[in-house]
Chains A and B, each alone.
Chain A
Amino acid sequence: MKLARWIALLAVVAIAVSALAGCAGAKSSKYPAKSIELVAAGSPGGGLDTAARVLDDVVKKEKVNANFVITNKEGGGGNVARSYLVEKKGDDYVLIYESNRVWLNNLMGTTQYSIEDTTPIARTTTEFEAWAVKADSKYKTAQDIIDAVKKDPASVTFGVGTIPSDDQFNILRPLMAKGVDVSKVKLTAFRSGGDLMTNLLGGHVDVISTSVSEAAAQAEAGKARILTVSSDKRLTGKAVKDTPTWKELGIDVVISHWRGLFGPPGMSAAAVKYWDDTLGKLVKTKSWTDALAKMEQEDAYLNSAAFKDYLLKEREANKPIIEKFVGQKKP
């Protein structure tokens, strides 16, 4: 026991010394002086967990002076992790990987905490959403579907992963923009991405809204067709390079299923600056680009200030939809 402690102490000293040596030329900032807990607000193996592990991997490869200890706080749709973050108020050594649930859950009324109870650090990556139909579907374009729904809102069945989610917004927002009475649209949730795809391929649902990567795997095998993507510009992947965006269809909607880093409320300005500097450089490295390509994620880096701004705008843009269709008052 004592020996182990000695070794641990020695190791810490060694790391600290080398860290100091590394920063010797830099400013007086000593952050980070110890390991940082990186909380994935989801279960091991899930999207947020993978994002955390990829970041850790790139940080190690690029020899960034930061040591992550990854923990998983799943449960409560991320609310367990959110409460934890609030508990750690002012602590510079906790970061959490989260998604738009940071404001969504609050609007849904499942937690009292929202964007204001975090310190946004950076938006790192994103995925976009796609509309997909079965290969032999009678619908050839997204416009066909919109026309059909306009004529009779109940004539097309839509499937999404969960409610509320970007999957769902990617159906409601374009249809609302086209003046469709979305309260009559048949929109059904099918738990996981896997269930959703099975139901599409089995012909049980006409159109699904899901992540581009999920749809692309089936499209490349010729089992499904992708009709639109929710990105700002066209994407480059093999299955989607000829797929129009909503904007090209004359609908001003962009939906980004992003993942980002947050600190606890009241994180010090020095720590935030450290991450702005470090991540700003990290996302330009080849290790980062390679890792993203493997995970089929797009780079979506925003620094702390831009990210906060983005979050507030995103929350405002989606508020009316949630109030209207998911409808639950704040606690």
Chain B
Amino acid sequence: MENLQLLLHGFEGALSFANLTSAVLGALLGTIVGVLPGLGPAATLALLIPVAFSMRPDTALIMMTAVYAGSMYGGSLTSVLLRVPGEAASVMTALDGFEMAKQGRAGSALAISAIGSWIGGVVALGGIVFLAPPLAEFALKFGPTEYFAVMLAALMLSAAMMGGSIVKSAIAICLGLMISTVGTDLQTGVPRFTMGVTELLDGVEFLSVIVGIFGVGEVLWYFREIRQGGASAERLALKGRLWPSKQEFRDSAGPIGRGTVIGFLAGVLPGAGPIMASVISYMTEKRLSRHPERFGQGAIEGVAAAETSNNAASAGAMIPTLTLGIPATGTTAVMMGALMMWGIRPGPMLFTEQADLVWTVLASMLISNVILLILNLPLIGMFVKILDISPKFLMPAIIALAVVGAYATNNSMIDVYLVILFGVVGYFMRLIGLPPAALVLALVLGDRFEQSLRQSMQLSGGHPVVFLTSPISAVALAVGLFAVVWDATKGYRNKKKAAKAAAHEPAA
């Protein structure tokens, strides 16, 4: 295999002292950045550009990819420990991860997310080596019509699977979609629902909503529990083991395997990326599980699926970047911008013209994944110490982290107000049982969802039949529809069963 040889050659380059050092530094920095909400990987890379400028292109790119990978690991830490996702892709991790932490299983949750991330990242990189060209062709088949159908299916699946009633999930999704319409409309350039606030012209910042609903909302909920005299004023400190049990490993094997494949494929699609990957694989696991009711209550399968797939997706996102010269995520876009500063033109010729550079970077991505695993596993013991802090100090600290993080995102107070506003929203959603993850998912996908619908309508001259004539779209819609119908009729089927059972019993 010619690619394998090139990869081995790449390892030679990647293992030089300077490159290895920059991978370690990048991984460390990335982990720290991932932990802090607000300072995302794209912004960090941009801040690093002046530094990177003084390095050789390969060394600098290695550092950048290591930061990217590190931030993915770091994002899972705060999701599990504090229920504050460091970035959008960690939202699904928070669902079960924090529940596990509450049960004193934070160590297991973190270990599984590190191991899952590692497997997802490494296997997906292998996928790049062997499958890049055909997958890039596949990604091109996704036009607006296909995107719309896939996103609609994902939203329908979430409505059906988010737990609780389908109606409540649908309400949460609609709220998310409504918030996503705030900002300048892409197709007309006209501002919508900005209420004259300049900062809202770019739309509502996802991170503020996520940190508000999850982080601040959780703290408010905590106060309520304390007032009601619940036992929750106790520390969340680790109970029992730091390392997952044999049973937990066994439960996680399937989700990790499937999460890798789903994540990798979702990552290849520009724009869909890590968050779609984590949602789809979480839903898949819940659907396959014999105990779906455990999801959201601290199921290790949920953590494993979400974390594996979001990491696999960020590796998969390198495919369009490397083969077509088209950035799939904000982070890869910054990396490509940096390439130009060295006079290297990103584009379809990159793989052939700069083969050494590309393979060195790919090899070093493998290496940084290994570094991250080595770095993260021993540190888990230290990180879970955070939970030893008494809630009366920890909870205000979460608020402080949320507010500082929100401000840091755009250096604007608007985001701080949004965090507080959505903290309250998150509290009430919890009170009436609307799943917050459904809102966040809809918000993150919403803009693209709406635009793909309008793009495909414009391109087709307003004929909705395109959604059925495109095979990818037709299949996606069928899957989504089936899931909703199946779950909507579940209550009816159960009732029927119960009625049957009741018929055999004497009336009370």
Report which A residues bind B (CB closer than 8 A).
Answer: 43-46, 49-50, 53, 57, 74-77, 79-80, 83, 108, 110-111, 154, 157, 162-164, 186-192, 194-195, 197-199, 201-205, 217-218, 220-221, 223, 293-296, 326, 328
For A202, the closest partner residue in chain B by CB is B140
Contacts of A53 in B (CB 8 A): 49-50, 341
Contacts of A220 in B (CB 8 A): 347, 349
Confirm or deny: B34 has a beta carbon within 8 angstroms of a beta carbon on chain A: no
| Complexed CA–CA distance, A77 and B185 (Å) | 12
Contact between chains at A217 and B325 (CB < 8 Å):
yes
Tell me the smallest distance from the CB of A320 to a CB of chain B, in Å: 16
| Complexed CA–CA distance, A115 and B485 (Å) | 57
Contacts of B342 in A (CB 8 A): 294
The 4 closest A-B pairs by CB, nearest first: A44-B46, A217-B347, A204-B143, A202-B140
> Would you list 11 pairs from A and B whose C-beta atoms are within 8 A, ordered by A residue?
A157-B458, A164-B189, A192-B327, A199-B143, A202-B141, A203-B140, A220-B347, A220-B349, A221-B348, A293-B343, A328-B190
B140 touches which one: A162, A189, A198 (CB < 8 A)? A198
Confirm or deny: B346 has a beta carbon within 8 angstroms of a beta carbon on chain A: yes
Contact between chains at A194 and B326 (CB < 8 Å):
yes
With a 10 A CB-CB cut-off, give which of B45, B142, B190 has the most chain A CB atoms.
B190
Contacts of A50 in B (CB 8 A): 337, 340-341
Q: Mark B130-147, 1 if CB is under 8 A from A, else 0.
A: 000000000111111100
* Chain B positions 328-387 with a Cβ under 8 Å from a chain A Cβ: 328, 333-334, 337-338, 340-343, 345-349
New contact pairs (18) apart from A157-B459, A189-B187, CB-CB < 8 Å: A43-B43, A45-B337, A45-B338, A53-B341, A57-B53, A75-B198, A77-B201, A79-B198, A108-B190, A110-B184, A186-B459, A188-B454, A194-B333, A202-B141, A203-B140, A204-B145, A217-B346, A223-B348
Contact between chains at A186 and B45 (CB < 8 Å):
no
Tell me the smallest distance from the CB of A189 to a CB of chain B, in Å: 5
Contact between chains at A199 and B144 (CB < 8 Å):
yes
Contact between chains at B334 and A195 (CB < 8 Å):
no
Contact between chains at B459 and A45 (CB < 8 Å):
no
Report which B residues bind A (CB closer than 8 A).
Answer: 42-43, 45-47, 49-50, 53, 139-145, 184, 186-191, 198-202, 270-271, 320, 324-328, 333-334, 337-338, 340-343, 345-349, 410, 412, 451, 454-455, 458-459, 461
Contact between chains at A197 and B326 (CB < 8 Å):
yes
Tell me the smallest distance from the CB of B334 to a CB of chain A, in Å: 4
Contact between chains at B47 and A44 (CB < 8 Å):
yes
**Which secondary structure characterizes the binding site on chain B?**
helix
Contact between chains at A45 and B46 (CB < 8 Å):
yes
B188 touches which one: A204, A218, A223, A326 (CB < 8 A)? A326
| Complexed CA–CA distance, A112 and B191 (Å) | 14
Contacts of B186 in A (CB 8 A): 162-163, 189, 191
For B201, the closest partner residue in chain A by CB is A76
| Complexed CA–CA distance, A203 and B348 (Å) | 17
| Complexed CA–CA distance, A202 and B470 (Å) | 13
A45 touches which one: B42, B144, B320, B326 (CB < 8 A)? B42
Tell me the smallest distance from the CB of B113 to a CB of chain A, in Å: 28
Knowing A80-B199, A110-B191, A194-B327, the reply to whether A201 touches B140 (Cβ < 8 A) is yes
| Complexed CA–CA distance, A157 and B143 (Å) | 13
Tell me the smallest distance from the CB of B178 to a CB of chain A, in Å: 20
Contact between chains at A217 and B345 (CB < 8 Å):
yes
